[in-house]
Amino acid sequence: MERTLIIFKPDAVQRGLCGEILSRFEKKGLQIAGMKFMKIPRELAETHYAPHKGKPFYDGLVRFMTSSPVVVVAFEGKGAIEISRKMMGATFGFKAEAGTIRGDYGVSSAFNLIHGSDSPESAQRELGLFFKSGELVDWTPTMQSWVYDMSKGSPE
């Protein structure tokens, strides 16, 4: 099983889309391992987006991510990173396919509703920024055997 960090950005929170977005991940079969409603401190936003430092959009992104509360979620599942990235859709809502989160709810090139880790390495780094040791929960939902074929002992 793989874990990924998903952030429902300030525009998703302000537009009241968090429940809808969360539901889409759960209905897909990903399970929540941790979740927080928080206002990201500037220092944390700068650290989180450090790989983009020096790019023209960096300052605006940090300002945007600290402008309003967000929902931070750790999802778990087989292939959780790739599945989440597909569900999110293209970065800009006006380019995202219908059926994706950004394609169904976004039109802006600046406000794109959601962040998701793009690799196992970034997921580990990002989860460590937003969740302290012991805050993520290891558990097995009773429905897991209906999401995955577990007949060989591991999810397929």
Q: Which helix (H) or strand (E) holds 102?
A: helix 101-105
Of residues 18, 115, 126, 127, which has the active-site annotation?
115
Residue spans of the domains in the chain: they are: 2-147
Is 48 labeled as catalytic in the residue annotation? no
3 state DSSP class of 72 = strand
pLDDT of residue 94: 93
Q: Can you say whether the dihedral through the CA atoms of 59, 60, 66, 71 is positive or negative?
A: negative
How far apart CA 145 and CA 56 sit, in angstroms, is 46
* pLDDT values of the chain reduced to their tens digit, one per residue, 156 residues: 999 999 999 999 999 999 999 999 999 999 999 999 999 999 999 999 999 999 999 999 999 999 999 999 999 999 999 999 999 999 999 999 999 999 999 998 889 999 999 999 999 999 999 999 999 999 988 888 889 888 888 888
How far apart CA 124 and CA 51 sit, in angstroms, is 15
pLDDT of residue 136: 97
Classify domain 2-147 by CATH architecture.
2-Layer Sandwich (3.30)
Task: Give the residue among 71, 65, 61 at the shortest CA–CA distance from 18.
Answer: 71
Interior/surface letters 46-65, b for 16+ CB within 10 angstroms, e for the rest? bebbeeeeeeeeeeebbebb
